[in-house]
Amino acid sequence: MTPRVIPLHDDRTQGLAPPEPGLGAQPPADALGRPLRDLRISVTDRCNFRCGYCMPKQVFDKHHQFLPHADLLGFEEITRLARAFASLGVEKLRLTGGEPLLRRDIEALVGQLAALRLPDGSAPDLTLTTNGSLLARKAQALREAGLQRVTVSLDALDDAVFRRMNDADFPVAEALAGIEAAQAAGLGPIKVNMVVQRGVNEDEILPMARHFRGTGIALRFIEYMDVGATNGWRMNDVVPAGEILRRLQAEAPLHPLLPGAPGETAQRWAWADGSGEIGLIASVTQAFCGDCNRARLSNDGKVYLCLFATEGHDLRTPLRAGASDAQLQAALGTLWRGRGDQYSALRAADGAAPDASAKAGDAGTAAAAASRIEMSYIGG
Ligand code: SF4
């Protein structure tokens, strides 16, 4: 008897565009002509810190429901999507969270991503952003798995200020030990990110600059941003990058450097005596949307085209329904070509007043702010 073959048809992949012939030969540009170069991959929504600007304790308390493990993308799923992104032009992969080192066996994911190859045969630039709390324990294993470098978030050197800001009573000495371990393991060049908040840690600007000057570590000062809907952001809480620069220049002369890469978020400055460089990330007062080449992948498989996006595009459903690599690439290509996000530039054009609560009459703005995605979900 001749076997009857019944073609299987899975509707869950039907929202995806058909594969495009020759995809990959010509990486897509978005609606504003920006290429796709940088993918930030959030691997967990959990963190052991409760920094007020990211995961304030009053919101992320013991009743907060984190995502169940089954909702998180598995390592093979992340790697498949990263490969699809790489075929569209992504050259840099950054693991984030939450705190990415809380994800069990993160070294295994690092190993899989380190083995990826870009269309030209080279390895992707593979890095990770961490709060440093587990770095002393993990640095060597991460390096051996293929991680190239790390960025450590560190908002103060003063132990009392640091403990108050992480709101988990975590001592600064352990975070500093993590940075030292990363240096010893060869995870460099290391960057340290400091989010500066008016009246909270602005007095730490100079001590931090002095501490890292001459160490080979680039300290970057980040303007406090209105990401998410839970941190109660106010424009008055921002210490503008121009003011930070003036404070640093009163300490010692600095001169500007050219960007290290297209779309780089930090303005780079070098100490005139050759003792290293600092960065200024002026996301509020000097928007850099014009050459923003970043996409974000949430821990549950949604693609976000802007840090301030209010909705993502689900790729986990088609991925788990058996979409082919070509279908995933086509879906991502379509998303990127349609991207017109430039939140910070529009905010600046609007008078740098994204403070939804201050605009009491603007219900649309308030609603958009309230539905903004939290940084702990899509990564910073
Ligand atoms: S606001 Fe959005 S588009 Fe602008 S730089 Fe940030 S992530 Fe990119």
Which of 306, 310, 335, 350 best tests ligand 1's pocket when mutated (most atoms within 8 Å of CB)? 306
Would you say the CB of residue 343 lies under 6 angstroms from ligand 1? yes
Would you say the CB of residue 304 lies under 6 angstroms from ligand 1? no
Per-residue confidence (pLDDT) for residue 353, from 0 to 100: 45
Whole-number Å distance between alpha carbons of 310 and 300: 15
Phi-psi map region of 345: left, alpha, beta (phi>0 left; psi -120 to 50 alpha): alpha
Residue type, 370: A
How close is the Cα of 139 to the center of ligand 1, in Å?
Answer: 30
Q: What is the DSSP string of 70-103?
A: GGSPPHHHHHHHHHHHHHTT--EEEEESS-GGGS
Is the CA virtual torsion 207, 278, 345, 54 positive or negative?
Answer: negative
Would you say the CB of residue 293 lies under 6 angstroms from ligand 1? no
Per-residue confidence (pLDDT) for residue 347, from 0 to 100: 81
Question: Phi, psi at residue 46, to the nearest 5°?
Answer: -95, 150
Which of 39, 288, 341 best tests ligand 1's pocket when mutated (most atoms within 8 Å of CB)? 341
Whole-number Å distance between alpha carbons of 74 and 14: 23
**Closest residue CA from atom 3 of ligand 1:** 342
Per-residue confidence (pLDDT) for residue 261, from 0 to 100: 84
How close is the Cα of 352 to the center of ligand 1, in Å?
Answer: 14
Would you say the CB of residue 341 lies under 6 angstroms from ligand 1? yes
Domains of the chain in start order, with CATH, are 5-378 (3.20.20.70)
Phi-psi map region of 214: left, alpha, beta (phi>0 left; psi -120 to 50 alpha): left
277: β partners: 270
**Closest residue CA from atom 2 of ligand 1:** 306
Residue 343 CA: which ligand 1 atom is closest?
A: 1
Would you say the CB of residue 308 lies under 6 angstroms from ligand 1? yes
Cβ(339)–Cβ(296) below 8 Å: no
**Closest residue CA from atom 4 of ligand 1:** 289
Per-residue pLDDT of the chain (380 residues; tens, 9 = 90+): 444 443 333 444 444 544 444 444 578 999 999 999 999 999 999 999 999 888 989 889 989 999 999 999 999 999 999 999 999 999 999 999 999 999 999 999 999 999 999 999 999 999 999 999 999 999 999 999 999 999 999 999 999 999 999 999 999 999 999 999 999 999 999 999 999 999 999 999 999 999 999 999 999 999 998 776 676 788 899 999 999 999 999 999 999 999 888 888 999 999 999 999 999 999 899 988 999 999 999 999 999 999 888 899 999 999 999 999 999 999 999 999 999 999 888 888 876 544 433 333 343 445 556 566 777 777 66
Cβ(129)–Cβ(380) below 8 Å: yes
Angle at 61 between CA 297 and CA 110, to 5 degrees: 30
Per-residue confidence (pLDDT) for residue 326, from 0 to 100: 96
Alpha helices for 167-288 (secondary structure H): 172-185, 205-212, 241-251
Cβ(280)–Cβ(267) below 8 Å: yes
pLDDT in tens, 35-78: 999 999 999 999 999 998 889 898 899 899 999 999 999 999 99
How close is the Cα of 343 to the center of ligand 1, in Å?
Answer: 6
Per-residue confidence (pLDDT) for residue 351, from 0 to 100: 65
How close is the Cα of 239 to the center of ligand 1, in Å?
Answer: 19
Which of 311, 343, 347, 378 best tests ligand 1's pocket when mutated (most atoms within 8 Å of CB)? 343
Whole-number Å distance between alpha carbons of 68 and 12: 22
Cβ(196)–Cβ(156) below 8 Å: no
DSSP for residue 224: -
Structure token pair of residue 339: 């991207």
Whole-number Å distance between alpha carbons of 217 and 214: 8
Would you say the CB of residue 36 lies under 6 angstroms from ligand 1? no
Residue 288 CA: which ligand 1 atom is closest?
A: 5
**Closest residue CA from atom 5 of ligand 1:** 289
Structure token pair of residue 124: 């992707």
Whole-number Å distance between alpha carbons of 250 and 70: 52
Closest CA to 315 of 86, 134, 77: 77
Q: What is the DSSP string of 289-317?
A: GGG--EEEE-TTSEEESSTT-S--EE-HH
